[in-house]
Amino acid sequence: MVSEHVQSRSGKRQKTEDRIIGAAAELFLKHGFKATTIRAIARAAEVSVGRVMSVGDKDVILVRCFDRWIGQLQNGTYT
């Protein structure tokens, strides 16, 4: 039972991080890296600034966006 709870929390955490990275990617593409703020990413992902910062600072988030884009290109799912 404890294992199910941990997996559920882990799954929710991953979905939230995916939403944050997705929101950041859209904002970076639309407004550019410099103009995009952590606050704007939080607003777009509908999470707190602290939750965004738990994923990483803007540089780390940008790298995670690149990782996502590269994976999508490799899988043929990039749009």
Q: Show the domains of the chain with their CATH numbers.
A: 2-75 (1.10.357.10)
Tell me the pLDDT band of 78, cut-offs 50, 70 and 90. Answer: confident
* DSSP code, position 36: -
In angstroms, the CA 65 to CA 5 distance is 29
In angstroms, the CA 77 to CA 13 distance is 23
Tell me the pLDDT band of 8, cut-offs 50, 70 and 90. Answer: confident
**pTM of the full structure:** 0.84
Is there a contact between 47 and 20 (Cβ–Cβ < 8 Å)?
A: yes
Residues in the chain: 79
The residue-averaged pLDDT of 44-72 equals 96
Longest dimension (CA), the chain: 45
* pLDDT per residue as tens digits for the range 35-53: 999 999 999 999 999 999 9
Is there a contact between 8 and 19 (Cβ–Cβ < 8 Å)?
A: no
